Amino acid sequence: MGGSRRLVILGKQGAGKGTQAERLADHHGVPRISTGDMFRAAVKADTEAGRRARSYMEDGELVPDEAVLDLVGERLGADDAQDGFVLDGFPRNVRQAEALEDLLGGGGVDLVLELVVPTDVVLERLAGRRVCTNCGTNYSIQHPPKTDWTCDRCGGTVVERDDDTEGAIKRRLALYERETEPLVAWYLAKDKLAAVDGTGHPDAVTTRLLRAVDARIGTSVVRQAPGRD
């Protein structure tokens, strides 16, 4: 795989996937690809894909695999994804994981990082979660943007997510256990899984993740300026 960085980040909602995927992607100079962000953008723009996905998202259910695979297939074909990516929110079940390996060819993904966070901690985090409506950057009541709920990255408005209601959160956690957790064993059997403690300060979690990537697929000197760590 040479310097390729085909990474997947797995974890319950509220485990910190969005924030950590963004940091990993920045560090490795590859895009973060979030299917949730792509669907939210499609809903906002009222596209065909958005209209199909909307009710599933509001109910905390998974959008049908075909719709997700179309979206991901197209995105992974883009120029900026050819040297690698960090997938966030995809795959969500074994069928999607199988489709991803087929789509990628050449050995499939390099490494899957499982962010391990206890359920009581994610529930507490979700209660304070906020997101930029424009670029999808995550914030929280504890870590807000610098100015008045305006995104530090793009200036977009930062709000609570529509699907962060109590009922939808419970459904999504149950869904994670049923559909997505089996992926941990699936990737483990392929020797592609690294479990990382996702509790504590976000910076400490990032350090653990970067170490896990370096330990498994080589020191990450790709596209880094000399002297940077």
Out of 90, 139, 176, 187, the residue judged to bind ligand AMP by CB under 6 A = 90
Residue 73: CB minimum distance to ligand AMP, A:
12
Q: Is 95 marked active-site?
A: no
Active site residue 125: no
Q: Is residue 14 a contact residue for ligand AMP (CB under 6 A)? A: no
Whether 172 sits among the annotated catalytic residues: the reply is: yes
Among 41, 52, 56, 190, binds ligand AMP (CB under 6 A): 56
Q: Does 172 bind ligand AMP (CB under 6 A)?
A: yes
129 catalytically annotated: yes
Choosing from 75, 92, 130, 208, the catalytic residue is: 92
User: Binding ligand AMP by CB under 6 A: which of 60, 145, 156, 198?
Assistant: 60
CB nearer ligand AMP, residue 89 or residue 145:
89
Decide: 153 and 132 in contact? Cβ < 8 Å. Answer: yes
Instruction: Assess 68 for contact with ligand AMP (CB under 6 A).
Output: yes
Residue tagged active-site, from 12, 23, 40, 161 = 161
State the catalytic residues: 17, 92, 129, 161, 172
